[in-house]
Amino acid sequence: MTTPGQKAIWSMIWKPLLAGVVVVAAGAAGAGYYFRLQRPRSELWMPGTVETQDVRLSSRVGGRVSKVFVKEGQTVEAGAEILQLDMPELDTQRKQLEAQLAAAKALLAKAEKGPRDEEIAAAKADVAAAEARLARMRKGYRTEEKEQARKEEEAIVVEMQNAYQELTRERTLLNKGATTIEAYETAVAKHNRLQAQAAAAAAKTKMMEAGYRPEEVAESEAALASFQAALDLLEAGTRQEDKDEAAAKVAQLEAQIDELDVKRRERTVYAPEKAVVEVIGVRPGDIAAPNAPLVKVLRADDLWVKAYISEVDLGHIALGKKVNVTIDTFPGKRFQGVVTFIASESEFTPRNVQTIDERRHQVFGFKVRVDDPQGVFKSGMAAEIFLPLTSQSKGQQTAGTE
């Protein structure tokens, strides 16, 4: 058991010893820090974070989700099917356009080939018939027709004279009471009928002798001109404007079909490149809106580590410089990387930047592209970047610390 006197002695001894130990430790630390500053480092160490580019896949047309071919976390190659939408109305629209295109192509072929020989022959026959009718009208009735009309008129006149004589006789007999009233009326009717026929025959004879009217001749001339124009149109063939119009219609329908095919290809969503499926936002049966994000993927070959370098060390880094990267998953393994980006604007700048120590708080972001064929790097991982220093860089660093 320790006596009070012994405690007093130990108190007098350990306090000076403790003070000496603290002084020696502080001196050693200061010496170590001094020598560390004076000795050039072989590399810079900077913490960073693994990042990757995400892509949100969608379809430019809407529809019902029919199939999902992938799972979350799955790695897919470029061109792999991600999901499929059901849009049967697009197939129906394409069939309608195909039918319209077939009709338009038929019209174009007809326009390019021109009228058929049978159509031209029929038009020539119409022209010949119109010419014959016009010639007949200009020449008038034949002599035989005129003579026949005169003979018919004379015959009717003779019959009318005979009827008149019979009517006179019946009138005389009626006055004497030698005939009936019915016989007399029959004679009157016959005379009147023949008198009318004689007048008609006389008019017909006069018409034949005068020939066709000018209006009828003009009508025949117009008909001939119409048939001749139709023949000229057929012989000239289809106008170039009509051919161009038919060709334009065909091109328009073909373009509409191509546009529809683009939409039909949008029914299946493909992976644009090698990627990791991160989030699937839809399931079979869901209705997908046009241009709405459906699946989120991470670009497998677009991986980098984001870190920051102090302003005083900015001269040690350059685009294309090779560095080493480590991650906690493989602490003893260094992965090769290349600096692909250096920010042009600093970050975390204090209000007053005066001393070198304060300027260390002014940093610039940079990115290191890492090759990861095994897929060990994951977005959000903590990483460390080791930047090798060249002899010139070491000299600059030593000069900066003196």
Residue 248: other Cβ atoms inside 10 A: 12
174 CA to centre of own chain: 105
CA–CA gap between residue 323 and residue 317 (Å, rounded): 10
Q: Is the per-residue pLDDT at 97 higher than 80?
A: yes
Tens digits of residue pLDDT in 81-94 = 999 999 899 999 99
Q: Per mean pLDDT, which of 73-82, 119-128, 308-317, 352-361 is the most reliable?
A: 73-82
Asked if 313 contacts 323 with a C-beta cutoff of 8 angstroms, the reply is no
What pLDDT, on the 0 to 100 scale, is given for residue 238?
73
To which residue do tokens 């200009």 refer?
138
What are the boundaries of each domain within the chain?
40-53+300-401, 96-114+241-263, 117-240
What pLDDT, on the 0 to 100 scale, is given for residue 10?
46
CA–CA gap between residue 113 and residue 136 (Å, rounded): 38
Kindly tell me the sign of the dihedral angle through the C-alpha atoms of 37, 42, 44, 47.
Answer: negative
What pLDDT, on the 0 to 100 scale, is given for residue 72?
92
- What's the topology of domain 40-53+300-401? Elongation Factor Tu (Ef-tu); domain 3 (2.40.30)
The structure tokens listed for 11 are 């108190």
Tens digits of residue pLDDT in 2-24 = 555 555 554 555 455 544 444 44
What pLDDT, on the 0 to 100 scale, is given for residue 367?
94
Residue 163: other Cβ atoms inside 10 A: 19
Mean pLDDT, the chain, integer: 81
Lowest mean pLDDT among 97-111, 166-180, 236-250, 339-353: 339-353
Q: Is the backbone of residue 301 left (phi > 0), alpha (psi -120 to 50) or beta?
A: alpha
Q: Is the per-residue pLDDT at 312 higher than 70?
A: yes
Q: Residue 292's pLDDT band (boundaries 50, 70, 90)?
A: very high
CA separation, residue 172 to residues 70, 164, 169, 192, 329 (Å): 126, 12, 5, 18, 152
What pLDDT, on the 0 to 100 scale, is given for residue 103?
95
What pLDDT, on the 0 to 100 scale, is given for residue 339?
94
| Helix residue ranges per DSSP H, 177-291 | 181-210, 214-236, 240-265
CA–CA gap between residue 321 and residue 238 (Å, rounded): 72
What pLDDT, on the 0 to 100 scale, is given for residue 227?
87
Q: Residue 361's pLDDT band (boundaries 50, 70, 90)?
A: low
What pLDDT, on the 0 to 100 scale, is given for residue 400?
37
The percent helix, strand, coil of the chain (3-state, each to 5) is 55, 25, 25
Q: Is the per-residue pLDDT at 338 higher than 90?
A: yes
The structure tokens listed for 352 are 């007053």
Q: Residue 265's pLDDT band (boundaries 50, 70, 90)?
A: very high
Under 8 Å CB-to-CB from 367, ≥6 apart: which residues?
A: 51, 304, 305, 306, 307, 339, 340, 341
Q: Is the per-residue pLDDT at 354 higher than 90?
A: no
To which residue do tokens 């025959």 refer?
201
Q: Is the per-residue pLDDT at 294 higher than 50?
A: yes
Residue 285: other Cβ atoms inside 10 A: 9
DSSP letter for each residue of 197-229? HHHHHHHHHHHHHH-S-HHHHHHHHHHHHHHHH
CA–CA gap between residue 58 and residue 267 (Å, rounded): 10
Tens digits of residue pLDDT in 137-195 = 887 777 788 788 888 888 888 888 888 898 898 888 888 888 888 988 898 999 899 88
Q: Which residues of 176-206 are buried (b: 16+ CB within 10 A; e: fewer)?
A: eeebeeeebeebeebbeebeebbeebeebbe
Q: Is the per-residue pLDDT at 336 higher than 50?
A: yes
Q: Which residue has the higher pLDDT, 239 or 364?
A: 364
Of 133, 107, 122, 108, the residue nearest 234 (C-alpha): 122
Q: Is the per-residue pLDDT at 237 higher than 80?
A: no
What pLDDT, on the 0 to 100 scale, is given for residue 280?
94
Average pLDDT estimate for 41-57 = 88
The structure tokens listed for 235 are 């012989």
What pLDDT, on the 0 to 100 scale, is given for residue 26?
44
Average pLDDT estimate for 369-391 = 83
Q: Which residue has the higher pLDDT, 229 or 14?
A: 229
The share of the chain scoring above pLDDT 70, in percent, equals: 83
Q: Is the per-residue pLDDT at 38 higher than 50?
A: no
Asked if 75 contacts 276 with a C-beta cutoff of 8 angstroms, the reply is yes
Q: Residue 25's pLDDT band (boundaries 50, 70, 90)?
A: very low
What pLDDT, on the 0 to 100 scale, is given for residue 212?
75
**Burial status of residue 59 (CB atoms within 10 A of its CB: 0-12, 13-18, 19 or more):** buried
What pLDDT, on the 0 to 100 scale, is given for residue 214?
81
Asked if 306 contacts 342 with a C-beta cutoff of 8 angstroms, the reply is no
CA–CA gap between residue 332 and residue 310 (Å, rounded): 26
Average pLDDT estimate for 66-71 = 94
Determine the length of the chain: 402
Q: Residue 52's pLDDT band (boundaries 50, 70, 90)?
A: confident
Q: Is the per-residue pLDDT at 348 higher than 90?
A: no
